[in-house]
């Protein structure tokens, strides 16, 4: 076992597929921005739409995909759904990606956020 509790050696194909799907969700800039904002605090769809400059229906579609992937969850607050990161590890992935990039260690040819 490694220090993080994983078995040494190759990762099983089904787990690789699941991890790749998570990174696929992060490949869309709007979804990455949504996760970045939700890593700071929970928000409703209207707030997210205003913050990222997209329509409520567009943000709702992104949130539906993120929810289906298990990356966010929603709770009712009156007439609104309030969204939050589903697990702290997701917030860590997003923060680490930006921290890595902002330290100037991004891969050549990438664009700063």
What digits encode the pLDDT tens for the residues 67-100? 999 999 999 999 999 999 999 999 999 998 888 7
What digits encode the pLDDT tens for the residues 98-107? 887 777 654 4
CB-CB contact of 42 with 77 (8 Å): no
Return the closest-CA partner of residue 49 out of 40, 67, 62.
62
CB-CB contact of 85 with 35 (8 Å): yes
Residue 32 pLDDT > 80, yes or no? yes
């Amino acid at each position: 076992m490694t220090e993080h509790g994983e078995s040494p050696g190759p990762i099983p194909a089904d787990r690789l597929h699941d991890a790749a799907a998570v990174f696929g969700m992060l490949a869309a800039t709007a979804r990455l921005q949504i996760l970045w904002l939700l890593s700071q605090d929970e928000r409703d769809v209207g707030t997210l739409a205003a913050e990222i400059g997209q329509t409520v229906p567009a943000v709702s579609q992104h949130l539906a995909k993120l929810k289906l992937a298990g990356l966010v969850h929603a709770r009712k607050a009156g007439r609104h759904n309030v969204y939050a990161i589903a697990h702290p590890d997701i917030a860590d992935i997003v923060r680490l990606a930006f921290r890595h990039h902002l330290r100037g260690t991004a891969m050549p040819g990438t664009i700063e956020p």
